[in-house]
């Protein structure tokens, strides 16, 4: 992983992030104009390139990051020394909220593409959380959603085959990130990260994607994936139909 751009480093581009809290950004976008002014006062904008580190596991948790644009992965190092992807983040997600229960970050956050993130110090964030119940409720809903996704993935590792897990992860990525203008999944996830996230080896993932492609369930172009037959993928993943 590349070196983190520390929020206190002088060589990091810093500015007031005026877009992070727009009404289109969840969960920090539901403030009135006066509340926006309070939140934006003194907040800092950081630019991260692909593979840059927003914060590292075990570092002191001095604040949180709200993603204004771009995507990131949260990873945790196992006892075997390997990094495991815990979850994926998209614009509007708040990263680092484990500061509620831990003095240090419990995961590392790594940019998957160019990321623009608003940094809020721990003191200011806790003040905002205490003063604005609506914001606190939205954040708790977001956390509950993320916990639910992690629980389903853990259960899938124990109960599902690699084929079922990969199909489910593809559907989850579609639901969470949507598609680009060419109908491909709008998430820059390398093969090794997709394998890590679905708890399979790269060889197994490659074999399964090739099989899905032969069956016209998906289409693959330059590491981008288009889901073609959603109903069949839902059946393979053993998910309840809508």
pLDDT in tens, 77-107: 988 888 999 999 998 888 999 988 999 999 9
Count: domains in the chain: 2
In a domain, 3, yes or no: no
Residues 97 and 192 reside in one and the same domain: no
pLDDT by residue (tens digit) across 144-200? 888 888 888 888 888 899 999 999 999 999 998 999 999 999 998 899 999 999 999
Residues 39 and 85 reside in one and the same domain: yes
In a domain, 181, yes or no: yes
Of 137, 153, 169, the residue at which a domain comes to its end is 153
Burial (CB count <10 Å: 0-12, 13-18, 19+), residue 214:
exposed
- Residue 234: what pLDDT? 95
Residues 38 and 141 reside in one and the same domain: yes
In a domain, 94, yes or no: yes
Residues 116 and 134 reside in one and the same domain: yes
| pTM flag (> 0.75) | yes
In a domain, 175, yes or no: yes
CATH of the domain at 138: 2.60.120.10
pLDDT by residue (tens digit) across 50-70? 999 999 999 999 999 989 889
Residues 143 and 168 reside in one and the same domain: no
CA neighbor of 163 nearest in space, from 235, 73, 242, 84: 235
Stretch 113-125: mean pLDDT, rounded? 89
**pLDDT class for 125, splitting at 50, 70, 90?**
confident
CA neighbor of 204 nearest in space, from 149, 231, 165, 170: 165
pLDDT by residue (tens digit) across 23-42? 333 445 555 555 555 566 65
Residues 187 and 207 reside in one and the same domain: yes
The residue segments making up the domain with residue 65 are 33-153
Residues 52 and 149 reside in one and the same domain: yes
In a domain, 127, yes or no: yes
Position 201 pLDDT exceeds 80:
yes
In a domain, 79, yes or no: yes
Residues 72 and 109 reside in one and the same domain: yes
- Residue 72: what pLDDT? 96
């Amino acid at each position: 992983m590349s070196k983190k751009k520390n929020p206190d480093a002088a060589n990091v581009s810093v500015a007031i992030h005026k877009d992070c809290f727009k009404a289109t950004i969840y969960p920090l976008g539901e403030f009135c104009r006066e509340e926006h002014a309070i939140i934006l006062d003194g907040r800092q904008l950081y630019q991260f390139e692909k593979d840059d580190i927003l914060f590292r596991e075990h570092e002191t948790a001095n604040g949180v990051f709200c993603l204004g644009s771009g995507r990131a992965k949260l990873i945790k190092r196992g006892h075997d020394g390997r990094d495991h992807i815990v979850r994926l983040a998209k614009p509007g997600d708040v990263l680092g909220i484990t500061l509620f229960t831990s003095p240090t970050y419990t995961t590392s956050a790594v940019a998957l593409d160019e990321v623009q993130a608003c940094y809020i110090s721990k003191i200011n964030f806790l003040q905002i959380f205490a003063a604005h119940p609506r914001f606190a409720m939205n954040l708790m809903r977001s956390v509950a959603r993320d916990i639910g996704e992690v629980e389903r993935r853990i259960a899938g590792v124990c109960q599902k085959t690699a084929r079922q897990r990969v199909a489910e992860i593809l559907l989850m990525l579609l639901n969470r990130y949507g598609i680009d203008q060419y109908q491909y999944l709008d998430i820059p996830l390398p093969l090794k990260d997709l394998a890590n996230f679905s708890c399979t080896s790269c060889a197994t993932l490659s074999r399964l994607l090739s099989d899905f492609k032969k069956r016209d369930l998906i289409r693959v172009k330059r590491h981008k994936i288009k889901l073609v037959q959603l109903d069949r993928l839902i059946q393979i993943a053993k998910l309840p139909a809508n």
